[in-house]
Amino acid sequence: MQFIPRYDGYIFDLDGTIYLGDILLPGVAELLATLRREGRRIVFLSNNPTKTRRQYAERLRRLGIDADEHEIVNSSAVMVEWLLANAPGAPLFVVGEAPLIGELEAAGFPLSERPGEIAFVVASFDRTFTYRKLQIAFDAIRAGARLVATNPDRFCPVPGGGEPDAAAIIAAIEACTDTRCEVIVGKPSPIMARTVSRLINLPPERCIIVGDRLMTDIAMGITAGMDTALVLTGDSRRADLEHSSYRPTYVLERIDELIRETS
């Protein structure tokens, strides 16, 4: 039996941790309501760039969870932030979906399909991926464009299985161009960790990251110096711990074990 203390800050992954598809996972509503009553700081975190922060907040509210878009960090927002800091106004070719493209355009980045004009190819989770997109990315990188990506996930969990995620897009582009992706801004990147740390504005030892993936959620929390909780409602299974170098502080069958006296 292990005592789980309260933390001042809680950072929650979304897909596979708070919900699965359009289903709120068991214990989530009770947990978040308790933490809100106690005045704990909460940040919601996602590597999925197929929705904006506003859309994530609206989705949470539809599921009965009080959430504001300013409490949400996702990989598309971090990609915008990184590009603004490192290459403001650079012409882009985006292998991604409309929400990511819209956020980049709103931040002032011109989009191009002419290889000689493109400074960065942005690879992402893209359910509209086509050979034409691969060809443009191929030509652009051969002409000198740099390859960056929103997130490294192999798949996105959905009820009954998963959908191929950004790792598949990155791999396709890397394979044909014989190059490597320079920067991936999503979990477990320290780039996203710094964004989250600024938002929650607490020392890392007073925070905990809760997620369903050892290689992203738990890895980022450990690197950031935070305690971590692996919840077994999404990607990772208890058996995966035997073969992983990432050791979460806690392993939970249900997320609301965080607010029980023992687990």
Number of H helices, E strands in the chain: 8, 14
Is 48 within any annotated ligand binding site? yes
What is the per-residue burial (b if ≥16 Cβ within 10 Å, else e) of 190-211? Answer: ebbbebbbebbebebeebbbbb
Is 86 within any annotated ligand binding site? no
Query: One of 8, 13, 66, 153 is an active-site residue; which one?
Result: 13
In this structure, the number of other CB atoms found within 10 A of the CB of residue 261 comes to 7
| Angstrom distance (rounded) from CA 8 to CA 54 | 25
- Ramachandran assignment for 61, one of left (phi > 0), alpha (psi -120 to 50 degrees), beta (any other): alpha
Residue 158, beta-bridge partner list: 161
Is 13 within any annotated ligand binding site? yes
3-state SS class at 255:
helix
Query: One of 8, 15, 22, 178 is an active-site residue; which one?
Result: 15
Enter the tokens of residue 56.
């994530």
Contact 224, 193 (CB under 8 A): yes
Active site residue 13: yes
Is 46 within any annotated ligand binding site? yes
Active site residue 66: no
Q: Where are the alpha helices (DSSP H) in the chain?
A: 28-37, 53-62, 75-86, 98-106, 131-142, 166-177, 190-200, 219-223
| Angstrom distance (rounded) from CA 218 to CA 246 | 7
Beta strands 9-13 and 19-20 are unpaired
Is 133 within any annotated ligand binding site? no
Binding residues for Mg(2+): 13, 15, 212
Which residues are catalytic, by number? Answer: 13, 15
Binding residues for substrate: 46-48, 187
Binding residues: 13, 15, 46-48, 187, 212
